[in-house]
Amino acid sequence: MVGRLADAVARSGSGLPLEALAAARDLSAVAGQALQEAVDRARAAGHSWREIGDVLGTTRQAAFQRFGHPVDPRTGVPMSTQIAPGSAERAVTIVACLAEGRWEEARRDFDAKMSQALDGKRLAAAWARMASLVGGYEGMGEPFAHRIADHTVVEIPLRFEAGEATGRVVFDEDGKVAGLWLRP
C-alpha cells in the first residue's frame, strides 16, 4: 500500500490525483487500524491512558475517547462506538441553517424535548448572542463525529470575525437532535 501511494504521488503530475487520494485513504485506514491495535496491546500490557495519551500527544481522556472500549455500567456490555451514518453532514446542515437565519429548518429534526425548549425565536437569540461575543459568522471547519454513550456527537469548529467557537450537535439513537450548543 505504501508503494502504491508513493507510485501514485510520483505520477500525480500526469493526471492521477484521484489514484493518489484513494491510496492515501487506504493507507490512512490501515494506519488507523494499526494504531488501535498498538493501543490495545499497550493497555493489555498495563499502560495507563495517561501514558498512552503522552505518547500520542493528547490527554488521557482524548486517548480513551478515541481508542477505549467503554463498558456500559447499566448492562456490563461494551458500548457501541459506531457513529450514526450521515451525522456529520446533518450537523453541518443545521449549523448552516443557523448561519443563514433559517431557524425553523434548523429545528426540523429536533426531538420532542428540544422542540419544546428551543423555538425559532430562541435559536435566533442564541445566534445573536454568539455574534455579540465573536462578531459575524465567516465559516466552519471540518466536523468531528464521535460517540458518547447512546449518542452521536458532532463538533464543528466555527470561524467568526473576532474569534472562534464550536458548534455541537447531539443525535439520539433515533437520529433526532437531542442537544445543540454554541460555545465561544
Report pLDDT digits (tens) over 5-20.
Answer: 666 666 655 556 777 7
Please tell me the class of the 87-183 domain: alpha beta
Q: Which H or E run contains 140?
A: strand 137-140
Comma-separated ranges of CATH 3.10.450.590 domains in the chain: 87-183
Distance CA 84, CA 178 (A): 14
- Model confidence band, residue 143 (pLDDT cutoffs 50, 70, 90): very high
Q: Is the pLDDT of residue 1 over 90?
A: no
Q: Which H or E run contains 108?
A: none
Report pLDDT digits (tens) over 121-131.
Answer: 999 999 999 99
Q: Indicate whether this model's pTM tops 0.75.
A: no
Geometric angle at alpha carbon 149, from 67 and 113, rounded to 5°: 145
Furthest-apart CA atoms within the chain: distance in Å:
57
Mean pLDDT of 111-119: 96
